[in-house]
Amino acid sequence: MLNILKIATRNLWRYKRRTLLTSILITLGVMSVLLFVSVSGSFKNMMVGQITDSMLGHIQIHKKGYLSSLDSLPLDRNLSEKQMKKVRQVLEKDENVEAFSPRIRLGAMFSNFAETTNVRLVAVNPELEMKTVPLLANRIIKGKKDGLIGRGEILIPELVARGMKVNIGDAIVLVASNKDGSVNGQTFTVRGVLEGIVGPGGRDGVIHIQDARELLRISSKEVGEVAIRLTKMNKLQNVYDSLQQQIGSIKNKKGKPAFEIHTWEKLSPFFNIARMIDLMTLFIKVMLVAIVLVSIMNVMIMAVYERINEIGTIAAIGTKPGKILSLFVTEGLLLGILGSITGIALSLGAIAWMNATGLSFDFGRQKGLLLAPSIGISEIVMVAGIVIAIAVLGSLQPAIKAARMDPIKALRHV
């Protein structure tokens, strides 16, 4: 095998320029895939992280029908205290659940004593919310981040703050109607201004859950939704399945499911963008396969054509067809390995450079998001594997042709 490798290497070196050009083509293909995967992966992970860690959580549980009427923020579709107790029992037992946070979503009239507007709010237990969506505090662009929210305080969305000309420490009034239709008002102090992000709930204000219960005159500990944070994101499907089995199967008095469970993928429109990114990655990989296949086949067909006489000679002196085949396949293999190694090395260098220089981008209203491109070993191995396998596949047809060549015809070839 070593001797075949040696001869194959020399054969490649015989046509230096062609070998170099083919290797460069493969290298560029590998680089484009790895860089795209690392940058788009980083973008995707960051956006998913932003959405799940600062707003949605990984999974949410609601009463059946809550989500379909979310626009009207239905208080009559809250989970009852009994239902919440059941949910709590299940979540506390699940080792893949890191934290969970009960919330109440509500709409209210927001008054600064001079003007009035509508505002959407999410009422949370600050301790549990910080554990469930740890990046929420990072969205506070003005005001204290520690402790998230206290009783009688409100974090207002930046657009409301700007539109209503409200500053930190100002007193405002929230007026909300409860599920019976009666109206109640309460004064709050502006604790901070919250950055708006894309997605449902991305432009909601935040108040303490006890304040919401008082404002809405809810005497029991009912909640509108439960946001869940997992220990590991890759356990999403497992936990979802498990929750579906334990909670999703519970029926109400009418014999219909009492709860609905959704992963972040169902809750955020960004999931479709994430899927588009995955689709583009697949498309780029297909392009890479095509580049490698065409370039290797082209080179190997040329190599066989130019060495017909030589193939005749080695066949005449007794080289078996299998060895002739392995000689040409090894040449393709070496080209694939050379292109892959160079492509991987340059890609890793480029990724390190991007991390060192700091690659930022804007996404919607979010400015200067810093990308941290990275690539997993499994992705590198997969791309290298694809390239090498396709290189072997591409050289197979010319190699078979060489191995099956009639020595006499080959020796006569000029």
Q: Is 306 in the site for another protein (CB under 8 A)?
A: no
The yes or no reply on residue 18 touching another protein (CB under 8 A) is no
How far apart CA 110 and CA 174 sit, in angstroms, is 5
Q: Which is nearer to another protein, 41 or 312 (CB)?
A: 312
Helix (H, G, I), strand (E, B) or coil at 87: helix
Tell me the site size for another protein, rule CB under 8 A.
24
Q: Binding of another protein at residue 315 (CB under 8 A)?
A: yes
In the range 160-189, which residues lie near another protein by CB under 8 A? none
- Quickly list H helices, 358-376: none
Structure tokens at 398: 């010319």
Interface with another protein includes 209 (CB under 8 A)?
no
Strand duo 225-230 + 153-157: pairing: unpaired
Give the alpha-carbon dihedral of 70, 72, 77, 79, to 10 degrees: 60
Q: Are 329 and 396 in contact (CB under 8 A)?
A: yes
Residue 405 CB, shortest distance to another protein, in Å, is 11
Answer yes or no whether residue 314 interacts with another protein by CB under 8 A. yes
Q: What DSSP string runs through 271-310?
A: HHHHHHHHHHHHHHHHHHHHHHHHHHHHHHHHHHHHTHHH
Q: Near another protein by CB under 8 A, which window of 10-18, 101-109, 209-217, 353-361?
A: 10-18
Q: To the nearest whole angstrom, how small is the minimum distance from the Cβ of residue 15 to another protein?
A: 10
Residue 97 is a binding residue for another protein (CB under 8 A) = no
Quote the CA–CA distance of 340 and 385 in Å, as a whole number: 9
* Options 62-70, 137-145, 179-187, 315-323: segment touching another protein (CB under 8 A): 315-323
Q: Under rule CB under 8 A, which residues in 104-163 are in contact with another protein?
A: none
Told to check if 214 binds another protein by CB under 8 A, we report no
Of residues 46, 293, 407, 413, which one binds another protein by CB under 8 A? 407
How far is Cα 1 from Cα 171, in angstroms, rounded to an integer?
A: 82
Q: Which of 141, 280, 290, 408 binds another protein (CB under 8 A)?
A: 408
Q: Closest approach of Cβ 398 to another protein, in Å?
A: 18
User: For residues 41 and 398, which CB has a smaller minimum distance to another protein in the complex?
Assistant: 398
**8 A C-beta contact, residue 193 and residue 89:** no
Q: Which of 319, 342, 366, 374 binds another protein (CB under 8 A)?
A: 319
- Give the integer Cα–Cα distance in Å for 362 and 364: 6
| Residue 231 contacts another protein per CB under 8 A | no
Q: Write the burial class of residue 58 (CB in 10 Å: 0-12 exposed, 13-18 middle, 19+ buried).
A: buried
Give 60: exposed, middle or buried? Use CB within 10 Å, 0-12, 13-18, 19+.
buried
> How many residues belong to the chain?
414
Amino acid at 280: M
| Binding of another protein by 3 (CB under 8 A) | yes
The yes or no reply on residue 323 touching another protein (CB under 8 A) is: yes
5 vs 28, beta carbon nearer another protein: 5
Q: Which residues bind another protein (CB under 8 A)?
A: 3-4, 7, 10-11, 13-14, 309-310, 312-323, 407-408, 411
